[in-house]
Structure 1
């Protein structure tokens, strides 16, 4: 069932307005599966997580959404969510029918207008709207865009023994983009790489080998889109908490700690790819770890 889209929440980063394009809330069971060490007892010890990021029982709130913005005239989308009509093993992702494309269009980014799609990594809930079903075929949703991901990421999966579910995801959401000649593999050095004006890829390996975060910088202001280097704000309080699907848990923790240390007590805005509303905030030192001070969004300026 679809509903009429509402104004997309947005944050101003210098001359750039970053829009959150909502896809779907994730069910309560997601937290215990994804972050098994984030137990109710652990979560309850941090009152700043309530009410936005967890409930009184310590159940984590998680979202699926993407981010869109215009950078020096380029219309950019970061990650593409779960997608509609996809055959997925995870029942929360299977055969969705959301109004995501209507929301994206209402925010000012109709699919044909998108110039650049940045994929933080190649997991099913980040590449789903790469394609859409048209007359029984999976076709690129953004036919005029350059789709960008890390070369390390694509080459890793090319040599990885895939189970049926992952093979299906590549079949419907990655390979059609490659076959259309739209996938652009980028080498991402340790210091990061600028792929467009104001847009920089920051290597954050571990969750997957080629995972990147996305930095947006403009007029002296900076925002960082986390991808899955950080799934939930509880990981600010406990950077050692990793996801059950991390390819290299130790490296994922190292990347998370380095990223948080670089953001702490700065003016950088953090935009969590799975953070429930208010989604964004600033990282502040809290004891021997960190916390997120929320920065609520507003509707985008007309």
Structure 2
């Protein structure tokens, strides 16, 4: 860990958007995650494994057959409710992972350029309580961490919060909860949601879907409007290589076997449908549709409807 700020800019892609019925779903870019992140996060996704699936190139892998990963949020307005799904890594936060430590990005500027200034966000959905999904929950103000979105309800699964309440945390995770979760909780803004097997609606056309395994209370986020549907993955799928082999696990899955079962069930339900899949860590083009392929699945990319200035 260094004492200087770490900046990994979004090198080649501005924010982008996709339509779901009358809804416009914006990708809010934070950072390209550095080379090597994929090998650490998905150790079974070796160069040989990736090379066996040519459809992953050129969008989702680099020239050495290593997976590429990205950090971003999704923002959508539905029924007059401004919704943000996950909040990335955050700025200026001490982190054990050098790629996440003391970032300085223009995330809030990108969000504001879409019309989502902090005071106008109504609902923040946290798919789970991992460091790279809760960072912009808070920002520094006068030497303390305060909620970034002061008028918003922050939602997460009741099962998720209960799991971490009983978990023996190491120092990095205690640090993260202290600067990114507890200040929101202490402000009375964190709302816990019961998520049954069939999911639960939390805003017009916005449904939380249980996708356990990566964490016990992990949820994906379903968006529907006008007969069209999209699904924001969170970390139940980290990268499209897991479409080809749903058994590839993340090194930080709490229950890798259950995560694999969840992925297989989810991908099977999506294959051959028109559901737009939006990956929380998928590099651009970020979105696509699931197709059965070679005894497993693939992701057919869907281009954004238009680029948006970052």
CA-to-partner distance for each residue in 1:77-114, whole Å, 9 max, x for gaps? 00000000011000000000000000000011111100
Equivalences for 1:115-130 in 2 at 5 Å? 115-130=122-137
Equivalences for 1:157-168 in 2 at 5 Å? 157-168=164-175
Deviates most, 176-185 or 50-59: 50-59
Residue 197 of structure 1 corresponds to 204
Q: Select which of 287, 297, 301 maps to 2:304.
A: 297
Residue 3 of structure 2 corresponds to none
CA deviation after TM superposition for structure 1 residue 279, in Å: 0.2
CA deviation after TM superposition for structure 1 residue 299, in Å: 2.7
In the alignment, is the contact (CA less than 8 A) between 1:231 and 1:273 conserved in 2? yes
TM-score by length of 2: 0.95
Provide the rounded CA distance (Å) in 1 between the counterparts of 2:71 and 2:306.
Answer: 19
CA-to-partner distance for each residue in 1:172-223, whole Å, 9 max, x for gaps? 0000000000000000001111111100000000000000000000000000
Residue 288 of structure 1 corresponds to 295
Q: Between Structure 1 and Structure 2, how many residues are aligned?
A: 302
Confirm whether residue 213 of structure 1 aligns to residue 209 of structure 2.
Answer: no
Equivalences for 1:219-234 in 2 at 5 Å? 219-234=226-241
Stretches of 4+ moved more than 3 A in 1?
A: none
Unaligned residue ranges in structure 2 (runs of 5+) = 1-6
Q: Select which of 70, 77, 80 maps to 1:73.
A: 80
SS at match of 2:303: coil
Q: Select which of 25, 30, 48 maps to 2:55.
A: 48
Provide the rounded CA distance (Å) in 2 between the counterparts of 1:277 and 1:301.
Answer: 14
Q: Select which of 254, 260, 271 maps to 2:278.
A: 271
Residue 261 of structure 1 corresponds to 268
SS at match of 1:174: helix
In the alignment, is the contact (CA less than 8 A) between 1:223 and 1:271 conserved in 2? yes
In structure 2, the CA distance between the partners of 1:301 and 1:247, relative to structure 1 (3 Å rule), is closer
Unaligned residue ranges in structure 1 (runs of 5+) = none
CA deviation after TM superposition for structure 1 residue 300, in Å: 6.4
CA deviation after TM superposition for structure 1 residue 57, in Å: 1.4
Provide the rounded CA distance (Å) in 2 between the counterparts of 1:44 and 1:115.
Answer: 43
Residue 186 of structure 2 corresponds to 179
CA deviation after TM superposition for structure 1 residue 59, in Å: 1.1
CA-to-partner distance for each residue in 1:250-294, whole Å, 9 max, x for gaps? 110011111101110000000000000000000000011000000
TM-score by length of 1: 0.97
Provide the rounded CA distance (Å) in 2 between the counterparts of 1:181 and 1:293.
Answer: 42
Could you say what the CA RMSD is over the residues aligned between the two structures, in angstroms? 1.7
Provide the rounded CA distance (Å) in 1 between the counterparts of 2:260 and 2:186.
Answer: 35
